[in-house]
A and B are shown apart, each in its own frame.
Chain A
Amino acid sequence: MKHTVAILVEDLPGVMARVASLFTRRGFNIDSIAVGHSETPGVSRMTIIVNGDEQVLEQIMKQLNKLIDVIRVRDIPSDSIIERELVLVRVHVESLTVRSEIIQLVEIFKAKVVYVERNALTIEMSGDEEKINGLLNLLKPFGIREIVRTGMIAINKNSKNGLKP
Chain B
Amino acid sequence: MELTGTEIIVECLKLEKVRVIFGIPGAAIMPLYDTFGKYEELPFKNVLSRHEQGAIHAADGYARATGEVGVCVVTSGPGATNLVTGLANAHMDSVPLVAITGQVPTAMVGNDAFQEVDITGITLPITKHNYIARKVEDLPLIMKEAFYIARTGRPGPVLIDLPKDVQLSKSNFNYPEKLNKRGYNPSYKGNLKQIKSAAIKIMNARKPIIIAGGGVINSKSSMELLKIVDKTNIPVVNTFMGLSSFPKNHPLFLGMLGMYGQYAANQSVSNADLIIALGTRFDDRITGNLNQFCRLTEIIHIDIDPAEIGKNIFAKIPIVGDLKYILQQLNNYLEEKKEDAWLTEINNIVEKDPSRKIENGSLLSSRFILESLNNFFAGEAIIVTDVGQHQMWAAHYAQVNFPRHFISSGGLGAMGFGFPAAIGAKIGCPEKQVICIAGDGGFQMNIQELATAIHNRLPIIVLLMNNGYLGMVRQLQELFCDKRYVSTLLAGNPDFVKVVESYGGIGYRVDKREEFMPILQEAHCKNEFVLIDCHIPQEENIFPLVKPDASINQMIGVD
Contacts and interface: CB of A to CB of B under 8 A. Distances in A.
Interface of A: 9-10, 13-14, 17-18, 21-22, 25, 55, 58-59, 62-63, 65-71, 165
B125 A58 contact: no
Contact of B121 (A17, A62, A69, A70): A17
7 contacts: A17-B121, A22-B125, A59-B307, A63-B307, A68-B128, A70-B183, A165-B182
Contacts of A59: 307, 310-311
B301 to A, nearest CB: 13
Nearest to B129: A68
B92 to A, nearest CB: 13
A125 to B, nearest CB: 36
Contacts of B182: 71, 165
B150 to A, nearest CB: 11
Interface of A is mostly: helix
Nearest to A58: B310
- Of the listed residues A58, A62, A66, A165, the one surrounded by the most CB atoms of chain B closer than 10 A to its CB is A66
Contact of A10 (B132, B183, B311): B183
Interface in B285-331: 305-307, 310-311
A17 B183 CA distance: 17
A25 B125 contact: yes
B448 interface: no
Given A59-B307, A68-B129, 18 more contacts: A9-B183, A10-B183, A14-B120, A17-B124, A21-B125, A22-B125, A55-B310, A58-B310, A59-B311, A62-B307, A63-B307, A67-B183, A68-B128, A68-B149, A68-B181, A68-B184, A70-B183, A165-B182
A58 B124 CA distance: 22
B311 to A, nearest CB: 6
Bin the interface of chain B by size: 10 to 19
A103 B121 CA distance: 48
A69 to B, nearest CB: 6
A10 B183 CA distance: 8
Contacts of A21: 124-125
Contact of B305 (A17, A66, A67): A66
B124 A69 contact: no
B310 A71 contact: no
A69 B125 contact: no
B124 A18 contact: yes
Nearest to B126: A25
B106 to A, nearest CB: 12
Nearest to A165: B182
Interface string B216-242: 000000000000000000000000000
A67 B124 CA distance: 10
Interface string B105-135: 0000000000000001100110011001000
A21 B149 CA distance: 20
Contacts of B128: 68
B327 to A, nearest CB: 23
Contact of B307 (A9, A66, A69, A70): A66
A114 B476 CA distance: 67
A82 to B, nearest CB: 26
